[in-house]
Copies of this chain bind each other. A is one copy, B any other.
Amino acid sequence: MTKVYLAGPDVFLPDAVDIGRRKVELCTRHGLTGLYPLDNAIDPAASDASLRIFRGNQAMMIEADAVIANLTPFRGPGADAGTVYELGYMAGRGKLCLGYSNDPTSYADRMRRFTDVHSRDGGLVDASGLTVEDFGLTDNLMMIHALDLHGCPLVTPQQAPADIWHDLGAFETCVRLAAERLAAPHAQASG
């Protein structure tokens, strides 16, 4: 069965295990095997806990045919770093890359909402004078175009859902797209 790695900061939620179960169930419903990161399956008190999580997650990524990355902004204007690393890793290995964000606003608009942003030399900069990417994209161009060119364009809802961490509508759209893209003709004929 086709395997999909379910990257996302979901592992940091208080009900991380439950969210993982819901995501895996949605995958099953669409004929895919969802692989959820190990972060909550390993005792954090173990001396080598972080290394065991890394090795486990990497092994699952190598095993998977695709990644669905939850790129909803996390502790700042952009996506969770661990998730972004995993998206890059899967793109580097030539796997099918899908992703979603439950915040549909552009990165520049999100920066305008949260911090002091102003124009300089025709471009946008933050309070520290660092350039703010202003291409109308939802996040950093490397991730957004990685999805465009290595899988499917970022999936976002028309409007942010009331509960950005528990609404799985955009996630399910990704699952459906992954199932369509990964269903080889011979698999359909035999199944």
Chain A contacts to B: CB under 8 angstroms: 9, 11-14, 16, 44-45, 49-51, 53-55, 57, 74-82, 84-93, 122-123, 125-126, 129-135, 137, 139-146, 148-149
Q: Are B78 and A142 in contact (CB under 8 A)?
A: no
Q: How many copies does the complex hold?
A: 2
4 other A-B residue contacts (CB within 8 Å) besides A13-B131, A88-B90: A12-B130, A75-B130, A76-B76, A88-B88
- Closest B residue by C-beta to A146: B85
Q: Specify which chain B residues have a CB less than 8 angstroms from the CB of A91 in the assembled complex.
A: 85, 88-89, 92
Q: Specify which chain B residues have a CB less than 8 angstroms from the CB of A139 in the assembled complex.
A: 81
> Chain B nearest CB: distance from A80 CB in Å?
8
Q: Specify which chain B residues have a CB less than 8 angstroms from the CB of A90 in the assembled complex.
A: 88, 92
Q: Are A78 and B77 in contact (CB under 8 A)?
A: no
> Chain B nearest CB: distance from A167 CB in Å?
16
- Closest B residue by C-beta to A16: B131
Q: Are B82 and A81 in contact (CB under 8 A)?
A: no
> Chain B nearest CB: distance from A19 CB in Å?
12
Q: Are B92 and A143 in contact (CB under 8 A)?
A: no
Q: Are A49 and B82 in contact (CB under 8 A)?
A: no
Q: Specify which chain B residues have a CB less than 8 angstroms from the CB of A142 in the assembled complex.
A: 54, 57, 81-82, 85-86
Q: Specify which chain B residues have a CB less than 8 angstroms from the CB of A122 in the assembled complex.
A: 45
Q: Are A145 and B76 in contact (CB under 8 A)?
A: no
> Chain B nearest CB: distance from A92 CB in Å?
2
Pairs A–B under 8 Å by Cβ, sample size 26: A11-B131, A12-B131, A13-B129, A13-B130, A14-B125, A14-B131, A16-B131, A44-B134, A44-B135, A50-B135, A50-B137, A54-B141, A55-B145, A75-B76, A76-B77, A76-B78, A79-B81, A81-B139, A84-B85, A85-B85, A85-B88, A86-B88, A87-B88, A88-B89, A88-B90, A88-B92
